[in-house]
Amino acid sequence: MSNPLLNLPLLPPFDRLQPEQVEPAIAESIEHCRQQLAAGLADPGWDSTLAPLEQAQDQLNRAFSPISHLNSVLSGPWRAPYEAALAQVTAYWTELGQNRDLYGVYQQLAQSPEFAAWPQPRRKAVELGLRDFDLSGVGLEGEARDAFAANSRRLAELSSQFANNVLDATNAWTWHTENETELVGLPQTALAAAKAAAEAKDLTGWLITLDGPSYLAVMTHADNRALRQQVHTAFISRASETGPNAGEFDNSAVMEEILTLRAEQARLLGMANYAELSLASKMAQDNARVLEFLNDLAARAKPAAEREFAELQDFARGKLGLDELRSWDIAWAAEKLKQERYAISQEELRPYFPYEKVLAGLFTVVEKLFDVSVQRDDTVPTWHRDVQYFWLYRNGERIAGFYLDPFAREKKRGGAWMDTVCVRRQTPEGLQLPVAYLVCNFSPPAAGDAPSLLTHYEVTTLFHEFGHGLHHMLTQIDVAAVSGINGVAWDAVELPSQFLENWCWEPEVIAMISAHYQSGEALPRELLDKMLAAKNFQSAMFTVRQLEFALFDFRLHCCEQGASAAEIQQLLDEVRGQVAVVPIADENRFQHGFNHIFAGGYAAGYYSYKWAEVLSADAFSLFEEQGIFDRATGNKFLHGILEQGGSRDALELFTEFRGREPNIDALLRHSGIEQLELNINPG
């Protein structure tokens, strides 16, 4: 029987994929790439070398994509095949990045007389290719060359190991009770989910897990302080040497080795540290600019955050009987204060945001903004019964597609993300449409006929990930290297996602995405007004928390020699001393679960979230001026940002869209701290 991972159609046949198919398919795909490269080098040129190689590598990427995806959303039997495939793929890309003959082809093309007349996407693909060759060690010799390749392979293994440890630690801890009085304060949605979790384990009563919806429900609503402490301690100590599973999934040594190897990669390339290497492919010019941006914002946001926390402490003492706020009290006390001040809570809003209504409203927003329609296709095979598949259309023509996996479940990686099934590109058979995975971890539907009900926070998460998806799916670029999010500077890649979040707060849009799941009643004006009034509740505390992560990440990667686990902790403590305003538990090992920088693409780049927030708020301000559904402005963003992919520099595209370089005014206004004046441009 033929291997379904080879000669794939546009959409992977998830109903026919098996773990044992992985290694032979990846091996054959890589061998095909090598053969194509050898043939192309014999006749250098775009059409004779780069285009056929792009075709072969697209087949490899499309074979590896469902393997990587299934490891993230199902884990279990897919972990070992994924890790074996990852080793093969990493070795290939490392080998390719150090291929001097191919590098010579890129150089020859860039220096050719006709290069200036080439289409912009092709020119940009060659320019980025040359940069990436330099960053892959193509110029290294002998032992340095071998060390760089070995480090690259090992770093891929370690990143996977880090993520596995976090997932395993998350799944390893549960808390079971048959006494409902221990769960006082939890909303009915959380209780129903806990009961379903217990039943899934053949238990009676209720089961609390460390999955996002369960953890957040306890920390925000459980009146049982001892339970909050227990759940919080388990969560913040995951994959570390402390906590209830101390040492079992410990990421300490993994972090140390990752940082050592990253620092060595930078040294081998003649750079001072990994942060410098990371910025070589970002908008920011140098380390000093990034640190100035983060430190300036922290210095101005912290006084407001301190005031917010002092208010919370006063409230806790006066109204909640807590003389001292501990880390496991913060979210719970904040929710109580929010309810007293605004008489609103996420749980009160949840019945008005049934998942299907929110999804339909999101599609309406996108249709009005960018003239595309979304249609569900139940004939497409998926990997789980909860997964839905959709096509995007414009003027009746199919232009893209996406899978949506919305709900939390066991053995599924936490968080939310967008990933690519395949990119838009021109193939010998015609245009290949872009297809995306959109993954969230929302509370699943309760037992019976009740739908999944989202908090407004989850609503914004859905809009955020769909913004990433639009960046991938609405591109008009046909060259894979700069199609969709490919080639986009990492500190600009969050622009479309954070940009789309803004519509979640517009009354006109809230009317589209909300309706009581039982009565169909619109969100009452009173609740809407309260929700909007509470939008910036503790926004400064949230800002300094994000800056804590960003500063820790960037300063960590400014180290020239890597760092030990103790030094990592010491640096995090220093950063917290600079920016944090809330108490930190002794068992807190946030760094051991920081997937973004140790298992994702955000190493020395977590600052991108704050920088992209500046861009997104400033971009949205044009819609505020012209109308949130102004078609001309929507077309301007579509044609000027989303369709361009990585074919042009991000700052150049933004400046053309906005008519000037970005400034922070809109972000400060949206955050309720518009009196701050910052020098924010990290470029």
Given the residues 54, 458, 465, 613, select the one marked as catalytic. 465
In 2-104, where do the E strands start and end?
none
State how far the alpha carbon of 600 is from the alpha carbons of 24, 65, 156, 496, 589, in Å.
Answer: 26, 15, 10, 19, 18
CB 317 within 8 A of CB 323: yes
Cross-strand bridge partners of residue 426: 431
Distance (Å, whole) CA 455 – CA 461: 10
- Interstrand relation of 435-442 and 397-407 (parallel, antiparallel or unpaired): parallel
Distance (Å, whole) CA 64 – CA 68: 6
Q: What is the dihedral of CA 233, 238, 549, 288, to 10 degrees?
A: 140
Orientation of helix 79-97 relative to helix 51-73, angle to 10°: 150
In 381-485, where do the E strands start and end?
388-394, 397-407, 417-422, 425-427, 430-432, 435-442
Phi-psi region at 604: left, alpha or beta (left = phi > 0; alpha = psi -120 to 50): left
- Interstrand relation of 174-177 and 388-394 (parallel, antiparallel or unpaired): unpaired
526 included as an active-site residue: no
State how far the alpha carbon of 269 is from the alpha carbons of 134, 136, 285, 641, in Å.
Answer: 8, 8, 17, 32
Nearest to 212 by CA among 159, 164, 243, 167: 167
Instruction: Phi first, then psi: give them for residue 583, nearest 5 degrees.
Output: -70, 150
Distance (Å, whole) CA 640 – CA 655: 10
Q: Which residues are catalytic?
A: 465
